Amino acid sequence: MKDRKLPTLDLKRGYARIKDEIDQAVKEVLESQYFIMGPQVSGLESDVERYLEVPRAIGCASGSDALVLALKALDLKPGDEVITTPYSFFATASCITRLGGTPVFADVDPDSYNVTAETVLSKVTDKTKAFIPVHLFGQMVHMEELSKELEVRNVAVVEDCAQAFGSWRSIDETPVRAGASGVLGCFSFFPTKNLGGYGDGGMVVSRNQEMADRIAKLRVHGAGTTYFHDEVGMNSRLDAIQAAVLRVKLRHLDSWNEERRIAADRYRVLFAEHDLLGIVTPPVEDEGNYHIYHQYVPKVIRDRDRLLEHLGSEGITARVYYPLSLHMQRCFSFLGYDKGDFPVSESLTEQTIALPIFPEITEEEQEWVVSTIAAFYGKK
C-alpha cells in the first residue's frame, strides 16, 4: 500500500478522457495565432450564458480578478462595508480591502459550512454596500432567504462561485444555478476547479447589462476602444487557449459533477460500513441543493492533524481547507476581530479534512481511504 499514491485530484486522468478533444482545440488556437481574447473567449462567454441562463458573461484572468472587477463595477469605496464569510479562500476578503472597503464577517452554519440569512442580516448597516455569499465546496447558500431582503436594503449581491460551477438550488421549484441569483457572479477556472483550465482564468456573469458593459471595459484597462480609456481599469484578459480548453470541458461538466456526487455517496456508505459515523461526520447536502463536491470535506471529532499525517504516510493526500479563519489572518488584524468572535468558523478550521475526490476516483481507492481512516481510529 505504501508504494501507492492517491492525490486529492488527479488531473492526468481527466485529461486522458478528453485528450483528443483538448489537443484539437489547442491546435486550432495555435494555428489561428489568436491568443488573447478573440473568438474563443467570446465563444466561451456565449456557452456560459446559455449554461447558466444569464444575459452576460465576461471572461477575465482569474477568479480573484473576477471579484475585484465585480466590486469595482459597484463603485466600492473606502468606508463601504461588504458582508462575507470568514471561512473561505483569502481572495473572498482581499478583493474588498484592495478597493478600500471593509470586510464584515458573518459566522457560518456548522453543517453546510455556509453563511445563513440570520448571520448575514444581523450585520447589515447603513454602510453595507454588498454581500458576497460563498457557495463553499460546491454547495449553494440559501439565496432565496436573503436576496429580497438585501434588495430592499439596497445591498448588492456578488456571488463567489469559485468552487460551484454547475451547482444549483431549487428556488420556487425552479433550479437556479450558482451565479444566476445575484446581480453579479464570479467564477474561477483554476486547474483544480470542477470546471478548470490549464492555467489561470476567471469570469464574471451579470444580470445587469450596464454593469456587464463596464466590467468588459475594466478588464482591458478601462478602454471602450483601444487606446481610449474611460476610467482606470485592470489588465485582466482571458487567453484563448484557456477558453478553448474550457469550452471542451464545459461539454462534459454535468456528467463529471454527477460522478463526483456518486463518489460522495460512496464515501458516506463506506463510513457507515466501517463504523466511523460517530467519529467522522460526512458533509451535509442541504435540502433543495445540488452539491457538486468540488471538495469532499467531512468533520472528524479528534486528532485531525494526526490523521492528516497518517493518511500522508500511507500515500493518501488529504488537505485542510481552511486552517485559519479569515478574521484571524495577520493582514486583517486591523479589523479588530479576536479569537472566539466566529466560533463555528474557528471550530471548522480544527475539525475538517478534505479527502480525495474527482470524477475518476475508483471504488477501490475510496475503500483504501476509508479503511486507512478506520485503522487510525482503531475501527475494523
**pLDDT score recorded for residue 378:** 85
Distance, CA of 337 to CA of 221 (rounded, Å): 35
Q: In the block, which residue shows the cell 481574447?
A: 37
Q: List, for residues 254-272, the tens digit of each pLDDT value.
A: 999 999 999 999 999 999 9
Confirm if 306 and 350 have CB atoms less than 8 A apart. no
Name the residue among 65, 23, 29, 31 with its Cα closest to residue 240: 29
**pLDDT score recorded for residue 194:** 97
**pLDDT score recorded for residue 2:** 59
Distance, CA of 374 to CA of 380 (rounded, Å): 6
**Catalytic pick from 193, 217, 249, 299?**
193
The secondary structure of 120-160 as a DSSP string is HHTT--TTEEEE--B-GGG----GGGTHHHHHHTT-EEEEE
In angstroms, what CA-CA distances link 252 with 70, 179, 245? Answer: 28, 19, 12
**pLDDT score recorded for residue 81:** 97
Distance, CA of 239 to CA of 247 (rounded, Å): 13
**Which regions of the chain are under pLDDT 70?**
1-2, 380
**pLDDT score recorded for residue 264:** 98
Peptide bond into 322 cis (omega under 30): yes
**pLDDT score recorded for residue 1:** 47
Confirm if 183 and 206 have CB atoms less than 8 A apart. yes
Q: In the block, which residue shows the cell 464574471?
A: 204
248 CB contacts (<8 Å, ≥6 apart)? 18, 21, 22, 25
72 counts as catalytic: no
Domains of the chain: 18-250 (3.40.640.10), 253-376 (3.90.1150.10)
